[in-house]
Chain A
Amino acid sequence: MAETVTITIDDRQIQAAPGEMLLWAALDNDIYIPHLCASREEAHPTASCRLCFVEVEGRPAPVPACTLPVTEGLVVKTRSPQVDSLVAMGFELLMSNHRLDCKNCSANGNCELQRIAKARKLRLKPKNLPVLDKNLPVDDSAANIVYDPNKCVLCGQCVRACRKSGNGTLGFARRGYLRVVTTFGGVPLGESNCTNCGACVKVCPVGALAQK
């Protein structure tokens, strides 16, 4: 097998290691594909945010870039009417239960949602869907972390980070619309076994987890 393979993204020829996921190959070459849940270290991507769709030549429907290993001669497009409508819908659904408070949000200016909206010319406020505020209590019991579940997009980055450098405090609970990132027994962070390492704050792509 060759050291690198040549792929074409948006008519640009790119060299990438075979088997690498397309998303990372594109990002390394300054081609932005929206993404929230993907992680380089993960062998099995969760592919849950449904934002990194790309059009692959020879395939009838768009596929998520984070689960597509690159192969020699792969030709993809990051934009097409089908991709754009899928991403727009996914993004609108995400924003329909994200508490919009950019002015007071700690992630303002450094927010993945703002970045996606700018890159794809989408609006942060949903146009066709009502905004459902979960109205969950903001948890500021920990020494230097504030957690606002109303802003959480359930990407799972904090859960992974917590497993890696923290204590395994954070995890997913419940199901469907009620799904939240929470601690064992749903207790506030201050009463859990959280070590205040702040790894979760560093990886949170939105302002759900913030430094005090």
Chain B
Amino acid sequence: MNLTAEEKRIATETTRQLLSTYNDSRGNLIPVLQQVQNKLGYVPAVAMEEVAAHFNVPAVDVYGIITFYNQFRLTPPGKRQVKICMGTACHMRGAQIIQESWERRLNIKMGETTEDREYSLERVACVGCCTMAPVVLINEEVHGKITPTRVDGLIFSHQLDKQKEKEGAARDE
């Protein structure tokens, strides 16, 4: 995922600002990273380098932390965050197949964001609607009993929504 110069600048500035309120004790490392993620929605490489320099550790250590914990993301979230439930019930009813159909349709892998920043894919543990397995969460919206054809349907309805929005905006002008 390539970031624009503007995004990099914002990330660097936000991180620097956050770091100015923390001392360089190692215990602050993860809280700082969480703050960065809160502000930006993700932790880009430039932010990791800033943090590493502040705490005086090799940059690869910060990368290790980011990739170790599931709560951190390396890519900016998409406009529609697709979360595929991998809980026991969903797993048994073919969550893997649903995951693959999303990946194929959007042409990205788990944890990535499409080039147009429209979708991002994520795996989550149980979302608590096991009767509707397999479940997919799009932003906060729950979709149950997902099949590969329903994946296609969801993407199609998003495209329609987008088109309608565009037409509405054109009419307003």
**Do A and B associate with each other?**
yes
Could you tell me which A residues sit within 8 Å of B by CB distance?
163, 167-175, 182-186
Q: Are B63 and A171 in contact (CB under 8 A)?
A: yes
A and B contact pairs by CB, cutoff 8 A, 20 listed: A163-B58, A168-B58, A169-B60, A171-B58, A171-B64, A172-B64, A173-B60, A173-B63, A173-B67, A174-B67, A174-B68, A175-B67, A182-B60, A182-B63, A184-B45, A184-B59, A184-B60, A185-B45, A185-B63, A186-B63
Segment 1-57 of B: residues with Cβ below 8 Å from A: 45, 48-49
Distance of A197 Cα from B64 Cα, bound (Å):
22
- Known interface pairs A184-B48, A185-B45. Does A170 touch B60 (Cβ–Cβ under 8 Å)? yes
Contact code string B59-80 (vs A, CB < 8 Å = 1, else 0): 1110110011000000000000
Q: Report the 5 A-B pairs with minimum CB-CB distance, sorted nearest first.
A: A168-B58, A171-B60, A184-B59, A173-B67, A184-B60
Which chain A residue has the least Cβ–Cβ distance from B52?
A: A184
Q: Which residues of A contact B64 (CB under 8 A)?
A: 171-173
Most B C-beta atoms less than 10 A away, residue of A163, A171, A174, A186 = A171
**Majority SS of interface residues in chain B?**
helix
Q: Which residues of B contact A168 (CB under 8 A)?
A: 58-60
Q: Are B67 and A183 in contact (CB under 8 A)?
A: no
Q: Which residues of B contact A171 (CB under 8 A)?
A: 58, 60-61, 63-64
Could you tell me which B residues sit within 8 Å of A by CB distance?
45, 48-49, 58-61, 63-64, 67-68
Q: Which residues of A contact B60 (CB under 8 A)?
A: 168-171, 173, 182-184
Which chain B residue has the least Cβ–Cβ distance from A178?
A: B67
Shortest B68–chain A CB gap in Å is 5
- Known interface pairs A184-B48, A185-B45. Does A173 touch B68 (Cβ–Cβ under 8 Å)? yes
Shortest A51–chain B CB gap in Å is 23
Shortest B110–chain A CB gap in Å is 12
Apart from A172-B64, A174-B68, A183-B60: 7 A-B pairs, beta carbons within 8 A: A163-B58, A170-B60, A171-B60, A173-B60, A175-B67, A182-B63, A186-B63
Which chain B residue has the least Cβ–Cβ distance from A169?
A: B60
Q: Which residues of A contact B48 (CB under 8 A)?
A: 184
Distance of A103 Cα from B88 Cα, bound (Å):
43
Shortest A183–chain B CB gap in Å is 6
Q: Which residues of B contact A186 (CB under 8 A)?
A: 63
Most A C-beta atoms less than 10 A away, residue of B45, B60, B63, B67 = B60
Q: Which residues of B contact A174 (CB under 8 A)?
A: 67-68
Distance of A111 Cα from B48 Cα, bound (Å):
36
Shortest A199–chain B CB gap in Å is 14
Distance of A183 Cα from B58 Cα, bound (Å):
10
Distance of A182 Cα from B64 Cα, bound (Å):
9
Shortest A44–chain B CB gap in Å is 14
Distance of A184 Cα from B68 Cα, bound (Å):
13
Distance of A171 Cα from B59 Cα, bound (Å):
9
Shortest A188–chain B CB gap in Å is 14
Q: Which residues of A contact B67 (CB under 8 A)?
A: 173-175
Q: Which residues of A contact B63 (CB under 8 A)?
A: 171, 173, 182, 184-186
Distance of A163 Cα from B61 Cα, bound (Å):
11
Distance of A170 Cα from B61 Cα, bound (Å):
9
Q: Which residues of A contact B68 (CB under 8 A)?
A: 173-175
Q: Which residues of B contact A182 (CB under 8 A)?
A: 60, 63
Most B C-beta atoms less than 10 A away, residue of A163, A174, A185 = A185
Shortest A170–chain B CB gap in Å is 7
Distance of A189 Cα from B136 Cα, bound (Å):
38
Distance of A182 Cα from B63 Cα, bound (Å):
10
Q: Which residues of A contact B45 (CB under 8 A)?
A: 184-185
